[in-house]
Amino acid sequence: MPTTPKKIYQLKISLKGSKPPIWRRIHVESSVKLPKLHRIMQIVMGWDDCHLHQFTLGGMYYGCAEQLDSAFDFEETVDESKYRLNQLLDEEKQSMIYEYDFGDDWEHKITLEKILPFDPKVKLPVCLKAKGACPPEDIGGIWGYYEFLEALNDPDHPEHDGYKEWIGEDFDPNAYDIESVNRLLARK
């Protein structure tokens, strides 16, 4: 079976339902395995990797082997470790969904923006651009995040002090430290 030549994929990852949009633009190797793509997603988005996840494309679900053995009903989920990104996306403008935390239901649209020639001198993966901070874990999904932001911005809100104490004084929903993210990615 002939091997597919390596390419660089430029992906745009958008957190569905976020307004203003929360997104990341990254470069990854086209042949990255889905478990590694999951770890990359966790880093670039800012999640803590403490919940289940899955990739979805065309009615197929790709998840980690451990979750396939769990008490949840994952009959239609296949082992993600057997798949590479270029087996799912191979043309520009194609997209798939990455779902993280089935309770909060964070859905990310992953769009293949560009297919670039592989350059061994380019460090991969890398985050090129980003907008918006990652919502806190266990905040209640996108709607819970909006309620959280409303409470933070309103000192008279009954949850204001509690959220400030929980999240800290320095939370900025527009902040993103791309240099720190790329340092973490360089360790992968």
Give whole-number Cα distances, 188 to 89, 127, 181, in Å: 22, 13, 11
CATH of the domain at 110: 3.10.290.30
Range of the domain at 92: 7-133+172-186
Q: Quick: pLDDT tens for 28-43.
A: 999 999 999 999 999 9
Examine the domain organization and report whether 83 and 142 are in the same domain: no
Residue 108 lies in a domain: yes
Same domain flag for 158 and 96: no
Q: What is the pTM of this model?
A: 0.90
- The answer to whether residues 80 and 158 belong to one domain is no
Per-residue pLDDT band at 188 (split at 50, 70, 90): low
* Mean pLDDT across the chain: 91
**What pLDDT was estimated at residue 72?**
56
- In which residue are the tokens 């929903």 written? 173
Question: Do residue 86 and residue 115 come from a single domain?
Answer: yes
Question: Given a cut of 80, is residue 49 above it in pLDDT?
Answer: yes
